[in-house]
Structure 1
Amino acid sequence: MTLATALHPRLRTLGSRIVGPDRPVYVVGEIGINHNGGLDTALALVDAAAEAGCDAVKFQKRTPEICTPRDQWAVERDTPWGRMAYIDYRHRVEFGEAEYRAIDEHCRERGIDWFASPWDTESVAFLEKFDVPAHKVASACLTDDELLRSLRATGRTIVLSTGMSTPRQIRHAVEVLGSDNILLCHATSTYPAKAEELNLRVINTLREEYPNVPIGYSGHETGLQTTLAAVALGAAFVERHITLDRAMWGSDQAASVEPGGLTRLVRDIRTIETALGDGVKRVYDSELAPMRKLRRVMGGPVAV
C-alpha cells in the first residue's frame, strides 16, 4: 500500500500505477488463451498492446487436471492440431514456466505490465514466481472460496470480475477477499455479449454499494463504443480481449479487438479522460472572445 492509497481508500496500486477516481484509466489487453499455445503469437499480442498504449496484458493460467472435469478428459475435440482428447488440448494451449519467463522478459523490454487469471490454487503458486502487479479472478471463479482465500494470502491487488454472478455472490466474494485491496469489474459473461445485456449502469450500482472500492469494466462485446461509454460512466479499469485476427481459431476471438481497434480504443479513452474534466464550471479564456462577440447583454462579473 502506498501513501496515496492509504490516504484515499478508493485507490489501488497496480505495478507502478495508482488506479481509481481522478486517475488515468488502467487499460488491459486480455490475451487469455487467444495465443492458441503459440509463444510467438503471445509476444506479438504483447507488442500490439504496448504499441496501442495499454498499461498491461493479461493471460489465463490453469492446471488442466484440476480445471477440466474428469469425465471430459477423454472426449475428443476438433482443434487446429487435429482431433485430440480434451485434456491434451488443454495442455496444448497452456504455457509453462519457460514461456512465462519469456513473456515476463518481453513485457519488461516493452514497458508493459502482465498478470493473469489463475483458475486454481496451484496456478496462484505458479504466478507468485513472478512479480506480477495483481491477480485477476475470472467471473467463473467468483464462487471458489478456496481460490479467493489463496489469492488474498498473496497480499497483491485482486481484480474481481462479476459476470454470471448475483449481488449476494459478489458480496460474499468481497467478504472473503476483503475490500481493502480489491478492484471490482462489471462484466457480462457472454462471448460476444449483446448490447442490451451489457447493463453498463451496474457500474454505478457497484460504486454505490462498494464506496471504498474502485470499479472497472471487463467487456466481451463487439465494437468499441460501449467500452468507451463505461469509461464515461467512471470505470477506473478497462479490460478487453485482444487478438491478431478475429477470424483465428478459438472461442474468444470473435469478442476480441484487433490491433487497429485497440489503438483507437486507448486513444479514445484518453480523449474521454481529458474531456471529462474536474466538474468545476468555469469560463475558459478561449470563451472570452466569443462572449464579447456573441453575448448581447453582459450580466454580472465573469470571475467567480
Structure 2
Amino acid sequence: MKTIAVSNRKSIGQGQPTYIIAEIGINHNGSLEIAKKLIDEAAAAGCDAVKFQKRTPELCTPKDQWHMQRDTPWGRMTYINYRHKVELGYDEYAAIDQHCRDKNIDWFASCWDEPSVDFIEQFNPGVYKFASASLTDYALIEKVKATGKPYILSTGMSTMREIESTIEKFGTDNLMVAHSTSAYPCPPAELNLKMIHTLQELYPQTPIGYSGHETGLATTLSAVVMGAYFVERHFTLDRAMWGSDHAASVEPQGMHKLVRDIRDIETAMGDGIKRVYESEMGVLKRLRRVITPQQEELKPLA
C-alpha cells in the first residue's frame, strides 16, 4: 500500500491516521464570513482538511437552465446569476488560503471545469478531488493530472465499468479512490459500504476512502472500521440553512463527535497481538479458578 503526501503536514495511506475532510463545498452560500466560520469549526473539531467546490458557471450550467427563475436569499433571479452568487473569487480564496494556514488545516477543492483548475492552481493545493459527476470527464482529469498533484476520484452515480475504464486510462499513480453514493441525503440501504472492500481488492496499492452524504455518523465510522484511509462529509453551520447540500451535512457538534470517535476507533484497533494488560490482572486473580503456569509467570503489560 502506497502512502500519498497531500500537504507538507499530512499523508494518506497505510500507517497514517484517517484523513478527515470537512466538505464545505458551496455551503458558504457565497459568503467569505461563513466560509471562515466553517473553517474555524472544522479546525476546532480536529478535521485534517476542508474542501471547497469551484466552477465556471457558464461551463457547468446547461444553457437551457441559464434563464430559469429561482428563488434565492438574494431575491428571485436567473439560475446562471445564482450560480455566480455562490462562487468565490480570487480575493476570497486568498483570504481562505491564509485563514487555513493560520488555523493549521489543509484545504483543497473539487474543480468542475478546466479554467477552475487553473484558478485553484494559483494557491498550490496539495491534492485535488473529482466530484462523482466528473468521473467520466476525461479532459478534466487530464487537466488535473498535468499538474502532477495527487487526486481523489469519487465514484457515486458510476458503474463498475466506468470506474475501471477511468482508472485503466489514467493509471494509479497519485490516485486515491472514494466510494460514494450520490443521493442527498443517502438512505442507509443505498450506502453499500462493502464497496470499500471491493475497491480495496481491485486496487490493493491505492488508498481507498469514503465520501458520505447520509444523515448520522455511525455509517461513516463503519467505513473507517472497514479500512477507509480517508473520509469526507459535507459540513454546515446549520442544516436548516438555505441551499442544496445543507440537509445532508454534518453540523459542528456532530463533526466534533465524528472526529473523536474516529480517533477512538484508531486507538482501539490495536495491532492484533494478544496481550494481558495490567488492568486485567486484578480481575484475573479474583475470577479465574485455574491458574496456568504461564499465568503464574505473567508480567502485567501496560
Q: Fold-level match, TM-score > 0.5? A: yes
Aligned to 1:12: 4
TM-score of the aligned structures, taking structure 1 as reference length: 0.95
* Letter paired with 2:26: I
118, 124, 136: which one aligns with 2:117 = 124
1:283/1:111 CA distance change after superposition, 3 Å:
same
Counterpart-to-counterpart distance in 1, 2:188 and 2:25? 22
Aligned to 2:230: 237
Aligned to 1:186: 179
Aligned to 2:28: 35
Counterpart-to-counterpart distance in 2, 1:119 and 1:32? 12
Aligned to 1:171: 164
How does 1:95-244 map onto structure 2 within 5 Å? 95-244=88-237
266, 283, 289: which one aligns with 2:259 = 266
Counterpart-to-counterpart distance in 1, 2:257 and 2:105? 18
Aligned to 1:284: 277
Deviations 1:51-86 (A, max 9, x none): 000000000000111001111111111111111111
Q: Which runs of 4+ in 1 moved over 3 A?
A: none
SS at match of 1:31: strand
Give the count of matched residue pairs: 296
Matching of residue 67 in structure 1 with residue 73 in structure 2:
no
Counterpart-to-counterpart distance in 2, 1:182 and 1:167? 17
8 Å Cα contact 1:148-1:176 kept in structure 2: no
Counterpart-to-counterpart distance in 1, 2:263 and 2:270? 12
**CA shift at 1:300, angstroms?**
4.9
Counterpart-to-counterpart distance in 2, 1:220 and 1:118? 19
Deviations 1:231-271 (A, max 9, x none): 11111101000101100001100000111111111111100
Unaligned runs of 5+ in 2: none
**CA shift at 1:277, angstroms?**
1.0
Counterpart-to-counterpart distance in 2, 1:31 and 1:173? 26
Aligned to 1:6: none
Counterpart-to-counterpart distance in 2, 1:81 and 1:250? 12
8 Å Cα contact 1:207-1:215 kept in structure 2: yes
Cα RMSD, aligned residues only: 1.3
Counterpart-to-counterpart distance in 2, 1:140 and 1:38? 25
* Letter paired with 2:4: R
Aligned to 1:3: none
8 Å Cα contact 1:10-1:211 kept in structure 2: no
Counterpart-to-counterpart distance in 2, 1:215 and 1:155? 20
Q: Percent identity?
A: 59
8 Å Cα contact 1:12-1:19 kept in structure 2: yes
Deviations 1:145-193 (A, max 9, x none): 0011111111111011111111111112212332021111111100000
